[in-house]
Amino acid sequence: MIKRTLFFGNPAYLSTKNEQLVVNFPEEEKLPATVPIEDLGFVVLEHPQITITNGLMAKLVQNKTAVIGCDRQHLPCSFLQPLTGHSEQTERFRYQLNASIPLKKNLWQQTIAAKISNQAAHLIERGYNAKKLQRWANEVRSGDAENHEAIAAAYYFQHLFSHLPEFSRNQKGVAPNNLLNYGYAILRAVTARALVSTGLLPSVGIFHKNKYNAFALADDIMEPYRIYVDALVYEIEKSGEEVEELSKTIKTDLLSIPAIDVVIDGKKSPLMVAMSRTTNSLYECFLGSSRKILYPTYSEYS
């Protein structure tokens, strides 16, 4: 079942009754609205004048609903996650923490090869030559010691947005960097939610190790999925829509990311479902029952 995403951009009072999320609008003459909590996968809280009860937060966490808070720039900046995300959590933590360095390097190699392959497929779909990316994807070695990820990313973005002469991929750069930032933040929350539900620590990465990063593993595992954000942002920008500001329409489009159809292991499924398959396959690698992470394969037919 595809979980719903709710976005709150206006003042609201959120509470719960009879296993429903109840929405009251204090500044508008609207009747309260209700949504079954079991249907919710993501709740995005953008407006500073939103009040949410502790009872509702507890039920959302128990339902493994990702509650995402936004900052003054309207960008996602926080993620509420449960203390217990899986019945075997302690045992799964142990396997994750005991993962060997060679295993982590192999997993990172798989991750970057999948990411670059997807970047190549996306450029080909847009009519660009991607032979270099295809070659680099096959040349990624254990731990990506030669840093093919950075080399490929520079080449990829240079060509993908070549029609925008001032563009370079930078968090504080010109549009559509703002759209990419927002989309990646949503994708990061999707990844963290799947990791927690699988019983893994999102803060302990296989490559990212910054001690200030609470979502290092999420940043690792989301890499091959970034392509779906890129593709959506490309379509929005090419449509002629104004992208200097994150309009309500653009946010609505970007909040559809969890429900985008992707192809994983030869089968089509919503991105949030595919992400759970990826995180479960990662656990199997930590467990030792598998050596391969399942990642999506980008296709124009996704």
Closest by alpha carbon to 272, among 90, 40, 71, 100? 40
**Which amino acid is it at 188?**
R
Judged against a pLDDT cut of 90, whether residue 196 lies above it is answered with yes
Going by pLDDT thresholds of 50, 70 and 90, the confidence category of residue 300 is low
Judged against a pLDDT cut of 50, whether residue 302 lies above it is answered with no
Residues 298 and 302: their CA atoms lie apart, in Å, by 7
Judged against a pLDDT cut of 60, whether residue 301 lies above it is answered with no
- H helices, E strands: number in the chain: 10, 10
**Which amino acid is it at 298?**
Y
Residues 97 and 272: their CA atoms lie apart, in Å, by 25
Topology adopted by domain 4-80: Ribosomal Protein L15; Chain: K; domain 2 (3.100.10)
Three-state SS letters, 236-255: HHHCCCCCCCCCHHHHHHHC
How do the domains of the chain map onto residue ranges? 4-80, 89-287
What sign does the CA torsion over 55, 56, 57, 58 have?
positive
**Binding site residues for Mn(2+), as ranges?**
149, 208, 223
**Binding site residues, as ranges?**
149, 208, 223
210-269 per-position pLDDT tens digit: 888 889 999 999 999 999 999 999 999 999 999 999 999 999 999 999 999 999 999 999
Q: What is the CATH number of domain 89-287?
A: 1.20.120.920
Let me know if the fold of 4-80 is the same as that of 89-287. no
pTM for this prediction = 0.92
| Residue 87 structure tokens | 């019945």
